């Protein structure tokens, strides 16, 4: 019975999940793979900390070399997070011909290309299913199960923190600040939630998924991003009234010669499969030229789901470890231009002076900019200020921007409160 | 550049899809796998029929031996359907040490065990992703990506025909007969739709998924099944009113020492991810002890989605063809008892005589049988007959049956019109 020996860098939440699943499902994994997975060494900062895992004290070390230069270790699992020193450790492990599994999205989004090159040169595998979508097996589904497809679109809910916040705002009518505070108390948001609520986390993930799907590296600065910090209870209420829910969507679309990525709040029709994705759940919708639309749904974070994804990669490597299985993604030779056109339907909410003629005037400006309207909600409040809500038909974002520039100069418009992308029904 | 040579048994819809995808995505597949996939021979009944695929006439044959005994062929793809002669051809191909890919659910559900044994003995692979869920990569997701999990539940919508019919009945208020006729015209239902609408097709599929997830073969006669033939417009209307949609659900649950499978119409809460699965789409929800709930959604049938799944299996074999990759499922050693308890919430609709005291009398019978009620809809129509609708809390089906036996003897109950399982919200 072959043993596969594992060294783990870091002993935080995901690592505990991994160790617990390995112990809980030992027999099943053995029966499915014919291998015995064994933890050889675990890198920690503090040898004396009490840890809630079933591991002998002798397995802990504070010296990374006992893992990345340890000839007993077959697979190095990097769960430290952050770029330094994770990058050096992973690079050195690959150079030492060790397979590497990581859950580190920042590392892969920024240094993935270099690290994959090193893995291929050294005949080992670098796998990172857990870097996107927690337990959802989105990367391996694209590289393996659906590999017969030319993908044209990847879009979905890839940040559980913002999805939890938006769900609570929607279901209980609370404001953003309150929902953020709650998410922090529940452990779904960090003390500094900015990477989540400003869209950076989702941008990392969609850049990784674009590479997997389209074979082209995308710099993070090429991903236009907009977080959820400006989403108000009022927008959520209008969305509900018009048959939508607001979700933070990360998307990447491939067209003839171009790729377009975005992270942005989006109106999702209530009948769309993404609309039922609530709280900490994630979901990714793929469009392939053979399979059509496929959606994967599951828990986007947490010790056990993320541990499940890490262990899935470990098992994949363990199954192939006696052969020379290499399975790096082969980048396609065609290069695409990365564009930012924002062709979509839009929701626009503004505050206007409550008097006749204002709607007509603004509608004319939209018309001049080739923007046609799908719906308008106007409520005369017999007050000084009235809200005016438009949903447009599909149009490029620059037409919206040009129209709104003119709208802003119109004295009866007090404020343009929101501009949010609207997704079509499936 | 290594060539992988494919022989195809059958040239129907799925085979055309497969051939078209291979040609359309040739460059991408080559770039992803480093292999050239080549069709060597195709078994057809009629050499002179005009076919809408880009294949040289010389590749067609009416002699199966030119494929299963052809030393040039690496992978045999069985797309004939039915059990005979597909079974002999697949068996002989495996005995000749050829890998086999099939989309044949009837073959796998009835002869899977024997064929997998032959594949393992001969060091080749038998793959059948396309036998369940069309383009949805559910089998490979369980065997590979989520292989770190002990699965406890598999449930979902695995029959596109009935889902199309129920969607049309729900959205347009039409009756079953009309929806079936339409589905036939659209090509979503066969001339004889009984295998779909009576639940046999779904029973095949859940038996296969149970084996994949739980490692235990389940005979088709161990799957209690109930089709959609008795679902009326009235049940759909009550479902809608109470916040549900009706779907044909195939499910398999593993508990301490038992497994329970079912195929049956089910009330699904509108906020549940399965509720947004419409028309010809399928979706399967898995529950793993590490990953939690995961759902896969996509097209459950059609030439291109099913061809995508077949080609995914071909690529998986092609990638491993130079190594000795064997990846048969290792059945778990633990055996479970197959039970039929039907522990669930239930919707019960009956016609009663429209007079005071009837509801109280029936409620008492439920109470005596330990059935507590979650909701009751009663509408006095000031007519002779009034409908009475109950949704119960969770209870075993035998309690329901015993209570209804007593209810039937009560003179004021004219008819028990429907008993349908109700799914909880996620």
**Distance from A159 to chain B by nearest Cα, in Å?**
16
Q: Are the C-beta atoms of A378 and A356 separated by less than 8 Å?
A: no
Question: What pLDDT sits at residue A331?
Answer: 55
Q: How far apart are CA A256 and CA A145, in angstroms?
A: 25
Separation CA A245–CA A167 (nearest Å): 9
Chain B contact for A32 (CB, 8 A cutoff): yes
The sign of the torsion formed by the CA atoms of B68, B70, B76, B78 equals negative
* Fold match between domain A2-134+303-320 and domain A345-422: no
The answer to whether the beta carbons of residues B312 and B139 sit under 8 Å apart is no
Q: Assess whether pLDDT exceeds 90 at residue B90.
A: yes
Angle at A167 between CA A164 and CA A169, to 5 degrees: 110
The third-level CATH classification (topology) of the domain covering B138-299 is: Dihydrodipicolinate Reductase; domain 2 (3.30.360)
Does the N-terminal peptide bond of residue B85 adopt cis geometry, omega within 30 degrees of 0?
yes
Mean pLDDT of A18-36: 91
Helix, strand, or coil here: B200? Answer: helix
- Residue A154 CA: distances (Å) to CA of A282, A294, A342, B56, B144: 13, 10, 15, 36, 22
Query: Which residues in chain B touch residue A137, judged by CB atoms under 8 angstroms apart?
Result: 141, 145-146, 294
Instruction: For chain A, give the mean pLDDT.
Output: 93
pLDDT score at A324: 43
pLDDT at B331: 55
pLDDT of residue A32: 83
Contact residues, chain A, for B283 at CB < 8 Å: 295
- At B317-354, the pLDDT tens digits run 998 865 444 444 555 667 889 999 999 999 999 999 98
Report yes or no: A143 and A137 within 8 Å, Cβ to Cβ: no
**Is pLDDT at A195 greater than 50 in this prediction?**
yes
Contact A304 B291 (CB under 8 A): yes
Residue of B nearest to A37 (CA): B148
Q: Which pLDDT score, from 0 to 100, does residue A136 have?
A: 97
Bridge-based pairing state of the strands A385-392 and A373-378 = antiparallel
Contacts of A275 in chain B (CB under 8 A): 276
Contact A376, A362 (CB under 8 A): no
Tell which CATH classification among 3.40.30.10, 1.10.3720.10, 3.30.70.141, 3.30.70.260 matches the domain B345-422: 3.30.70.260
Report pTM: 0.92
Looking at A49-58, B134-143, B171-180, B252-261, which range is the least confident one? A49-58
pLDDT score for A323: 46
What local confidence, expressed as pLDDT, does residue A356 receive? 86
What pLDDT is attached to residue B326?
44
pLDDT given for residue B325 in this prediction: 42
C-alpha dist (Å) from residue B111 to A19, A79, A173, B105: 38, 44, 55, 10
DSSP-derived pairing of the beta strands A244-254 and A258-269: antiparallel
Contact of A323 with chain B, judged by CB distance below 8 Å, is answered with yes
Q: Residues A76-99: what's their mean pLDDT? A: 97
Q: Do A140 and B135 touch (CB under 8 A)?
A: no
Q: Report which of residues B256 and A403 the model is more confident about.
A: A403
User: What is the SS3 string spanning B410-425?
Assistant: CCCEEEEEEEEEECCC
Q: Side by side, which strands form the sheet with B99-102?
A: B60-61, B35-43, B2-9, B75-78, B99-102, B126-127
The structure tokens 């191909």 sit at B93
List B261's β-bridge partners, or say none.
Answer: B252
The nearest CA of chain B is from the CA of A336 a distance in Å of 15
Is-contact A94 A302, C-beta < 8 A?
Answer: no
pLDDT-derived band of residue A322, with 50, 70 and 90 as boundaries?
low
Cβ-nearest to A305 among B129, B278, B290: B290
What pLDDT does A426 receive? 74
B122-158 confidence digits (pLDDT tens) = 999 999 999 999 999 999 999 999 999 999 999 999 9
Q: Which has the higher per-residue pLDDT, B98 or A321?
A: B98
Residue B294 with chain A: CB contacts under 8 Å = 135-137, 296-298
Q: What are the beta bridge partners of residue A37?
A: A4
Average of per-residue pLDDT across A379-403: 90
Catalytic site residue from A98, A205, A254, A299: A205
CA geometry: angle at A332 spanning A331 and A336, to 5°? 110
For residue B233, pLDDT beyond 50: yes
Structure-block tokens of residue A197: 């609520």
- Mean pLDDT in residue range B398-408: 97
Distance CA A315, CA A308 (A): 10
Looking at the predicted structure, is the pLDDT value of residue A131 above 90?
Answer: yes
In this predicted structure, what is the pLDDT of residue B15? Answer: 96
DSSP string, B218-282: --GGGS-B--STT--HHHHHHHHHTTEEEEEEEEEEE-SSEEEEEEEEEEEETTSGGGG--TTEE
Q: Provide the 8-state DSSP code for B178.
A: H
pLDDT grade, residue B382 (50/70/90)? low
Q: How far is CA B276 from CA A65, A275, B272, B330, in A?
A: 51, 9, 8, 35
Write the CA distances from B406 to B340, B343, B360, B421, integer angstroms. 22, 20, 14, 20
Angle (CA) B149-A98-B144 rounded to 5° is 25
Q: What is the number of residues in chain A? A: 426
Is residue B403 pLDDT above 70, yes or no?
yes
Fold of B2-134+303-320: Rossmann fold (3.40.50)
Taking 90 as the threshold, does the pLDDT of residue B49 lie above it?
A: no
Environment class of B91 (CB within 10 Å of its CB; exposed 0-12, middle 13-18, buried 19+): middle
Q: How far apart are CA B112 and CA B109, in angstroms?
A: 6
Residue pair B348/B215 in contact (Cβ under 8 Å)? The answer is no
Q: What is the pLDDT of residues B280-289, one digit of tens each?
A: 999 999 999 9
- C-beta of residue B412 within 8 angstroms of C-beta of residue B353: yes
Q: Where are the domains of chain B?
A: 2-134+303-320, 138-299, 345-422
A contacts of B308 (beta carbons < 8 Å): 146, 148-149, 288, 290-291
- Mean pLDDT, range A379-401, rounded to an integer: 90
**A328, pLDDT greater than 50:** no
Output the pLDDT for position A53. 86
Which of A146, A308, A312 shows the shortest C-beta gap to B137? A146
Q: Is the pLDDT of residue A15 over 80?
A: yes
Average pLDDT, chain B: 93
Mean pLDDT of B401-422: 96
CB A293 within 8 A of CB A286: yes
CATH architecture of A139-299: 2-Layer Sandwich (3.30)
pLDDT of A333 above 70: no
Residues of chain B with pLDDT > 90, as a percent, come to 84
Q: Which of A143, A144, A298 sits opposite B293 (nearest CB)?
A: A298
């Amino acid at each position: 019975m072959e043993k596969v020996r594992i060294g783990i860098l870091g002993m935080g939440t995901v690592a505990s999940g991994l160790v617990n699943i390995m112990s809980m499902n030992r027999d099943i994994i053995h029966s499915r793979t014919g291998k015995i997975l064994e933890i050889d060494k675990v890198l920690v900062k503090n040898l004396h900390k009490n840890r809630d895992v079933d591991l002998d004290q002798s397995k802990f070390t504070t010296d990374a070399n006992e893992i990345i230069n340890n000839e007993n270790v077959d697979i190095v699992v990097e769960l430290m997070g952050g770029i330094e020193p994770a990058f050096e450790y992973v690079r050195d492990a690959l150079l030492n011909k060790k397979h590497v599994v990581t859950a580190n999205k920042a590392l892969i989004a920024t240094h993935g290309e270099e690290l994959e090159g090193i893995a291929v040169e050294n005949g080992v595998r670098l796998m990172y299913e857990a870097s996107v979508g927690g337990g959802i097996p989105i990367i391996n589904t694209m590289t393996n199960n659906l590999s017969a497809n030319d993908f044209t679109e990847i879009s979905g809910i890839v940040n559980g923190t913002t999805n939890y916040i938006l769900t609570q705002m929607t279901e209980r009518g609370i404001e953003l600040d309150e929902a953020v505070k709650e998410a922090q108390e529940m452990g779904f948001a960090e003390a500094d939630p900015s990477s989540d609520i400003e869209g950076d986390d989702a941008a990392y993930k969609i850049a990784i998924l674009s590479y997997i799907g389209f074979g082209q590296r995308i710099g993070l600065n090429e991903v236009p991003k907009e977080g959820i910090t400006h989403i108000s209870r009022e927008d959520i209420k209008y969305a509900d009234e018009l048959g939508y829910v607001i979700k933070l969507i990360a998307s990447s679309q491939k067209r003839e010669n171009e790729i377009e990525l975005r992270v942005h709040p989006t109106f999702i029709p209530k009948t769309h499969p993404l609309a039922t994705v609530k709280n900490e759940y994630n979901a990714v919708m793929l469009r392939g030229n053979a399979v059509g639309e496929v959606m994967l749904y599951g828990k986007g974070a947490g010790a056990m789901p993320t541990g499940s994804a890490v262990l899935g990669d470990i098992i994949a490597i363990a199954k192939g470890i006696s052969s020379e299985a290499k399975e790096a993604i082969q980048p396609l030779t065609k290069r695409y231009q990365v564009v930012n056109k924002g062709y979509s339907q839009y929701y626009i909410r503004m505050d206007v002076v409550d008097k006749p003629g204002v709607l007509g005037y603004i509608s004319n400006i939209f018309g001049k900019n080739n923007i046609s309207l799908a719906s308008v909600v106007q409520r005369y409040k017999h007050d000084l200020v009235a809200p005016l809500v438009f949903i447009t038909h599909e149009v490029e974002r620059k037409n919206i921007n040009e129209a709104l520039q003119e709208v802003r100069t119109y004295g009866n418009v007090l404020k343009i409160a929101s501009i949010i992308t609207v997704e079509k029904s499936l």
